[in-house]
Amino acid sequence: MEKTTTNELVRQAIDRFWESVPSSWSTVRFNLRSIASEHFDISVEQFSILRHIRKGSKSISELAEAKQISRPAISQAVDLLVDRGFISRTQSTQDRRWVDLELTQTGNDMLTAIFDRNSEWMESRLDALSPDELARLISGLEVLKKVLDN
């Protein structure tokens, strides 16, 4: 393939990326957040904190760094989630200043339910695609991941 044609295709791919990925991700995130707030009465911020804990953040400091907000702000939000029974706090036996955060079974079950409802919503959208379109979508997403994860 000629260099000009390749450059043109690369530019088209970049344009298509910016036309589709941010708006698609925004739509998925909006749906996820709507489920969290409407069906489980938790704020976007609380939902995000629960997700970060599930992904491995174990302290107020780690959460504050991951979310790029102050420790007092995170601490206040965590207090509310502890009060609601979604998070437990355990003081470290080695360092009394360190408090480990973990999802309770209730918190974990709620996150699972939120993600399950979102998956159902996404399935309802993807069901409209033909098997060939789904295969191309999967292939394209695999290629995108491979290229951008380097």
Query: Which pLDDT does position 6 carry in this prediction?
Result: 85
Q: How far apart are CA 116 and CA 112, in angstroms?
A: 6
Domains and CATH numbers, the chain: 3-148 (1.10.10.10)
- List b or e across 58-69, with b for residues whose CB sees 16 or more CB atoms inside 10 angstroms: bbbeebbebbee
Length of the chain: 150
Position with higher pLDDT, 146 vs 98: 146
Q: Quick one: tokens of 82?
A: 């502890």
61-113: pLDDT as tens digits: 899 898 888 888 898 999 999 999 999 998 877 777 778 899 999 999 999 99
Q: What is the pTM of this model?
A: 0.75
